[in-house]
Amino acid sequence: MSNTPLGLEKEKALYEKMQRLGVREEDIVEKFIRSQGPGGQNVNKVSTCVYLRHIPTGIEVKCQRERSQAQNRYIARQILLKKLDSLILGKLSQERKRIEKIRRQKRRRSRRSKLKMLEAKHRHSEKKSLRTKVKEESD
């Protein structure tokens, strides 16, 4: 991505995030196409819509939010990095949740929690026993 009118700080932050996620510029296919929708002559003549595809994962992003191609390039890269980030962290967090669930299932209950559970069962059974039909006395 060349120097954009967006500012060097934004561009530098974007590249740092790309490096942190391990995304290389060579792994991204970038195409410029004409936008759709309202916009008049600018939309009809200028290819401001940006299409990005990350080759290793196959994630595709299309951005036509702004009238400027440079802004759309920046936004499209941000969207792509968010998707990649959620993909990477999603797998890690799912695995962590699965491991934690197994750990909770295997853990023994404490004596106090067993007593509380048994007391709750006893209260519930008494409540149910009070719902039985009343026997009629015969004279």
For residue 31, report the phi and psi dihedrals to the nearest 5 degrees: -130, 150
Domain ranges for the chain: 8-102
8-102 carries CATH number 3.30.160.20: yes
Could you give the CA distance from residue 90 to residue 126 in angstroms, rounded to a whole number?
Answer: 46
Q: Centre a 10 Å sphere on the Cβ of residue 79 and count the other Cβ atoms it contains.
A: 17
Residue 73 to residues 3, 38, 52, 61: CA-CA distances in angstroms? 11, 20, 9, 10
Question: What is the arrangement of strands in the sheet containing 49-54, beginning at the earlier edge strand?
Answer: 28-33, 49-54, 59-63
**Tens-digit pLDDT profile for the chain (139 aa)?**
555 567 888 889 888 988 888 889 899 999 999 888 777 777 778 888 999 999 999 999 999 888 888 999 999 999 999 888 888 887 777 788 889 999 999 999 899 999 999 999 999 999 999 998 887 777 6
What is the DSSP code string of 18-54?
HHHHT--GGGEEEEEE---SS-THHHHHS--EEEEEE
